[in-house]
Structures are given as C-alpha cells and as structure tokens.
Amino acid sequence: MKFEYYSEAQLLQVHEASLDLLKKVGISTSSERFRTLLLDHGCLEKGKRILFTQDVIDKGMKSVPAVFNLYGRNDLHQLEIGSKKAYCQTLVGAPSVIDIESGERRDALLKDLEDITRLADALDNVHIISPLFPRDVPQEIILTVETATCLRSTSKPLSICVESSRELKFIIELLVAAAGSEKALREKPLATLPVSPVSPLGYGFDPAEALLDVVEAGLPLGVEPCPQMGATGPMSMNGLVAMHNAEILAGVIAAQLYKPGCPLTMSSRATFMDMRTGLGLWAMPEMGMMSAGLNQLGRYYQIPVAPGGYCGSSKIADMQSGYEHLYNALMEALAGSDIIGSAGSLDNALVECYTMLVMDNEISSVVQRTIKEFEVNDDNLAVDVIAEIIENNDNFLGHPHTRKYLRAGELWVPTISQRQTFEQWAVKSQKVEDIAKERAKNLITTHQPAPLSSEVEKEFTKIIADAKEALM
C-alpha cells in the first residue's frame, strides 16, 4: 500500500526548486576539507557560499546505493534499509525522561539509558535503538559512554547521532570491538551515524567534518537537518520541503563525491514553529505531511529515507500522544519509509517516556500490518467459499477457510489494546497507558539482553578510559 503526497508534476516542481537552491543559493561551510572537496569536483564559490552545478549534482546522485543492510551484534537482527519496511527507531538525544514510578519529568540519567535500551531490546516492533542524553555523564565523552551502554544493553542495530568528529574515533573503536574486527564491522555495520547540518543550508565545521569521517570509516551515514517552518525555514510547507531536500542533497552529494557508493539515508526532520508560543513542534498533521513529501522525493531518487514520525506535542502518554504518533508514523510509512524515528518521545521529541515506548511498539505493529505486502488471488477472494456457504445454508465460523486465514495472521493481534467485553474491562477499568506502564515495568525487571563477552567488556573499559584521557 502506497500513498502519493505529490502528483508527478508537483514532485518534479519541488525537485527542481531544490536544485535551484543548490545552484543559486548553495551552502555555507567553515570546513576547509568539505569546501575543498566540493570545489575540486566542480562546485563554484560565490562569496562565502558554495554553489552546485548540474554536473556535480548528477555525478553525486548516480552512485547512491538504493539498498544496504544494517545488523545487530548477533544473527537475530538484520534489516534491509531501502526496502521501505518502516523500521521503528527510538528517540535520539532526549535530555529528559518521564520517571516510570513517579510520573514526573526529570533529567535523563545513565540508568535510564540502560533501562530504556533494555526495554526497546525486549519490544518486538522496535527495530533500531538510539540513545537519550544522560545528564550524569561527563559531556566530553557522552557519545562514547552512550555507545558502550547501548551495545551492552541490546543486540539490535543502533543509530548514534554524531555531533562532531571529536568522539568518532572512540565510537568506531567500540563498534569494532563489538563486531569483532574492522573488516567485520564494514561488512556488517552495527549502526548508522547521522550528522545534523544547520538550517538554513549551513554545513558548519563540526557536521561537515563528521560527515566526511563517517564516510571514511565505511559506516552508513544519515544526513539529518531539522529545519523549522517560520524560524529556520520558510513558513510554506512546500518551501520548507524544497529547502530541506536541498540541505539533504548537499550532504548526499558530498558523501558520494568523497566515497562513491557509500551507504546513507535521507534522514528528514521537517518541523514547524507555533507562532503563538514560539515553541518548535514535532506535531501532526504538518510534520507527517511534509515527511510524506520528502519520502516521495527519496523514492524518486531511490535513496533510503529515515524521517522522525513517532512524535507529537503531548506532554504525557495519553490519547493525544497516541493519535499524534499514529498519524505521523502512518503517513510516513504509506509514503515509503525505511526507518521511522523518535519512538518513545513526548513533548516535541524533548522527553523519552517508558510508557510511550511500549505504546509506540503497539503503533509500530499496526504500521507494519498496514504496509504488509499482499496478493489478490482466487483463494483469498473466496468466491467458491461464499457460494458453498450460501448453497448449504451454512456459516463461515466452522469452515476450513476461516481457520486457515485466522491462523495465517489475517487479523492484527494487539498486545496492550483492549478488545474484551465492557463487563470484562470494567473489572480493572484500565486505560491503555496504564497497561503500557505495567508492561514497561515488567520488561525492565525481567528482560536481559544477550551479554557481551568478557573480552569485549574489557576492551570497552579500555576505550572509555582512553576517551577520558584524550577528551577530558
């Protein structure tokens, strides 16, 4: 099932507008490596901006892989990025959490990172795990500690957002230790490493350098700007999509010029400002709509896409957060997503919530059921079955066709949604968020991820110590 946000003609208009921005406005950068790379391949310099030519654009776009694989640290998890399977990814970078006991919002701690990661490891419809930002960790080595903690707490693939190249050496060393060797990591990457250019159309020193270093390391890159309508981008949705697309394409082209064929995703995060409050919103419907448009562009380019869709403005795990997350994620999935991020988020992706992560696992299963490929054939059209039932004055309940399709999974089966009679429900009168909270507590208490070997643990300890000595 696919949804086209733009008509074919409209899609080409947005595409051409993005190319006009690259050719006429270009990007800024304070990285000499990034600047030299682009100029050496035919870009033009005008004042302090780098302008792209059509030849450079064509050269950079032709070598992007349409599909690549992402792996967990064992054979249980292998994801085909590029096949539009809408894999669910947890929220990255949240500085706050909702305490699972008190329900109060507080600073995220390292223990929360451990628990959230183990919870995500236990949830069948969460596929990729990103770290929140614990406040009780030295900020100079936060990404190093986060990477080690995630690798210890899950066997699923990771996505580690890299703000700069500062810690990249140690992040890669941890991934190599977990994979077994540098060769093994390149052959079966355990993580994507997104970088975040600054809107509008700016590739500052840190994201530009990080982009090049991730590509040089041979790991999957994510190009992840996050413009905001009315603040760091135009107030029109089409204008923001065109600018956002141009920002992403600039990074995609640079990566391919640096290392043709390097795997990457267009990691779109199209947000908007509430002009009444000045708040940056990751809310419905505009975020889902703009991401659907950007996804359609990704399909046009045959580049994997990874928007953030399990998100909304609700401050607690409630009815509002449920319908916001479902709307945004389903819009993006129907428009062709490879990864949909921000699972477990509240308050415009500023807060991670244990309860919401369990609810998003349920929503992810609905998304997966909705986009599941199907065929139409004589057996499932059931013309003969219908005729037989009517002719024999029989019913469908006892027919083998009913059992066959029920056992094959024709009906979606919830894990926390309630479908019992009213009288059965009234015994406890639980809301879905109450059930999700109970399940989160139970899984945190009982679930243990596949452990790392003692040799890898020793290597992790050494790498973290080296990072402290080098960076603090």
**pLDDT for the residue 60:** 97
Band the pLDDT of 163: cuts 50, 70, 90: confident
What Å distances lie between residue 58 and 13, 19, 54, 67, 258, CA to CA?
17, 11, 6, 19, 14
Q: Residue 159 forms beta bridges with which residues?
A: 192
Overall average pLDDT of the 345-373 stretch: 97
Token pair for 411:
């009906």
User: 2 pLDDT band (50/70/90 cuts)?
Assistant: confident
pLDDT of residue 1: 62
The string of pLDDT tens digits covering residues 330-351 is 999 999 999 999 999 999 999 9
DSSP string for 101-147: TT--EEE--HHHHHHHHHHHHH-TT--BB-----TTS-GGGHHHHHH
Predicted confidence at residue 74, as pLDDT, reads 86
Q: Is 80 exceeded by the pLDDT of residue 374?
A: yes
Which domains does the chain show, CATH number per domain?
68-371 (3.20.20.480), 378-407 (no CATH)
- Average the pLDDT over 276-304 and give the result: 95
pLDDT at 382 over 90: yes
Mean pLDDT of all residues in 363-386: 96
Query: Largest Cα–Cα distance in the chain?
Result: 83
Q: Nearest-CA neighbor of 21 among 208, 205, 246?
A: 246
Q: What whole-number distance in Å separates Cα of residue 329 and Cα of residue 325?
A: 6
Residue from 157, 164, 109 nearest 130 by CA: 157
Question: Using 50, 70 and 90 to split pLDDT, how confident is the model at 171?
Answer: very high
Q: What six digits make up the tokens of 329? A: 């994620």
The span from the CA of 214 to the CA of 267, in Å, is: 15
Looking at per-residue confidence, does 1 or 71 come out higher? 71
